[in-house]
Amino acid sequence: MNQLISLSAAELAERLRAGDVSSEEATRAHIDRIAAVDERYGAYLHVNASATEQARAIDERRAAGEQLHDLAGVPVAIKDVLTTKGMPSTSGSKMLEGWVPPYDATVVARLKAAGMVALGKTNMDEFAMGSSTEYSAFGPTRNPWDVDRVPGGSGGGSAAAVAALEAPIALGSDTGGSIRQPAAVTGTVGVKPTYGGVSRYGAIALASSLDQIGPVSRTVLDSALLHDVIGGHDPRDATSLEREWPSFAAAAKRGGASGDLSGVRFGIVKELDSEGIASDVQARFREAVAAIEAAGGEVIKVTAPSFTYAVAAYYLILPSEASSNLARFDSVRYGLRVEEPGQTVERVMAATRGAGFGPEVKRRIILGTYALSAGYYDAYYGSAQKVRTLIQRDLERAFSEADVLISPAAPTTAFKFGEKVDDPLAMYASDLTTIAANLAGTPGMSIPMGLGDGGLPTGLQLMAPMFEDERLYRYGATIEALLNQNWGGALALQNAALAEDRQPAQEGTDR
């Protein structure tokens, strides 16, 4: 195995700055890795043919003495929900198959400005609707820990690419857990920033009041470094926050070096500590809590009664906003068009949407349209928004007692393909612990907390108050270091197994 692909983004960036390796070498190593293994994993929908050329240009700028960004030359994968000039952007749907946007999403433009090299576009559930990446119109992504299991969703492609060493770092989007839940089941780190902290301009909208772009990586520091690149105000996004943000990388470095959580109050939300969490995930969570307490952290119980209704409220708000956002795919302006001579506009539109949208997208459009219809708006969408307000208030009260809230990031380890695809309610329950942060707009993070049954990863979720993303990185890096003794060994086994073309989960323990 080429050792360059096993380096973290921070480690690779340091070697690039020192001149020990070139961006072209690092990029080529990852492109070769994709060519060698992605047929098995299906993490990518499109590989950037000009990646090595872009990397060579960065090397030339560095050799000329130009002062570059710390991450200049580091390769990055991009979820296909983000528009990329010169590369297809499909959002995992036949509706946009072959569409090459004429512009970059703001976060993509910021990657380019920092000199990062785009490896390609990663697979996802169609229009980000799903928790398993089984709903992609272009085939599923498989979990590198066990190819018979899902990598989570909707951003399973980004998480799998990072876990399978096909990218050191990636961008994802999180509407109800689509960064954090895949991170949990693939043993990676995923962060949903404060709503408005990262621009949504150029993100193909699912639910505009919930969507947020964030990083996927193998370490907390790497996510912090990428967050520093993509964050900040964007006048092209009406929801973008006009505020100064601290250095998240600096916060992660402080936390990783401290090893001390004295005086920090961690709240376990009673409503997320439920029977819906699998026993092996609960066991790892209790061990993580014990490690936090051993490091001086104070662990308390808090309550958020409205969380009981979070899944129900979310699956009314999201389909309603999706129904509105996806109305733009009408066969008239761009995207797929299915027509026959003599058909009316209405018939062409119906045929196009029937052929272009998959079953889960259709299900949610129908649900959302119904919830917004005359006579039902107040009973469904209006009531769900009231629950959302209650969730925000419950979180405010919880954060008055605790600095950070903790829970499992996913209620189970990765499940097998087909296990939940015919049971929408069971699939929706995969977002049990992550949805509240999206409804409230608060930041959340998933970090690996060890292996559950069958040697499959589990994730610890941290939630912080609005605008306090820095806490996630500071305390997340500390906890990551505390848990690294067990997890570090598991990750080494994974990397070795991947290099030898074996499946890590087959050798895993219950730790």
83 and 103 Cβ atoms separated by less than 8 Å: yes
247 and 471 Cβ atoms separated by less than 8 Å: no
- Round to whole Å and give the CA distance between 174 and 198: 12
Which residue of the set 6, 22, 23, 79 is catalytic? 79
318 and 175 Cβ atoms separated by less than 8 Å: yes
- Round to whole Å and give the CA distance between 408 and 411: 6
Termini Cα distance of the chain: 26
- Round to whole Å and give the CA distance between 13 and 219: 14
Cα-to-chain-centroid distance, residue 238: 22
Which residue of the set 22, 91, 158, 178 is catalytic? 178
- φ and ψ at 476, to 5 degrees? -65, -40
Helix %, strand %, coil % of the chain (to 5): 45, 15, 40
- Name the residue with tokens 């999403």: 105
Mark 311-340 as b/e (b = at least 16 C-beta within 10 Å).
bebbbbbbbbbbbbbbeebebeeebbebee
How many CB atoms sit inside 10 A of residue 17's CB? 14
Which residue of the set 154, 173, 223, 407 is catalytic? 154
Q: Which residues contact 207 (CB under 8 A, 6 or more apart)?
A: 175, 317, 318, 321, 322, 325
Q: Angle at Cα 103 formed by Cα 98 and Cα 104, nearest 5°?
A: 100
For residue 322, give both structure tokens. Answer: 């999706």
The residue among 85, 157, 129 whose CA lies nearest residue 319 is: 129
- Name the residue with tokens 């942060």: 437
Strands 298-302 and 444-451: unpaired
- Round to whole Å and give the CA distance between 200 and 106: 7
Assess whether 85 carries a catalytic annotation. Answer: no
Q: How far is CA 480 from CA 152, 255, 262, in A?
A: 21, 9, 16
Assess whether 416 carries a catalytic annotation. Answer: no
Q: How far is CA 337 from CA 95, 253, 324, 327, 356, in A?
A: 8, 51, 19, 14, 9
Assess whether 407 carries a catalytic annotation. Answer: no
Helix or strand (DSSP H, E) at 318? helix 310-325
- φ and ψ at 217, to 5 degrees? -155, -175
Q: Which residues are catalytic?
A: 79, 154, 178
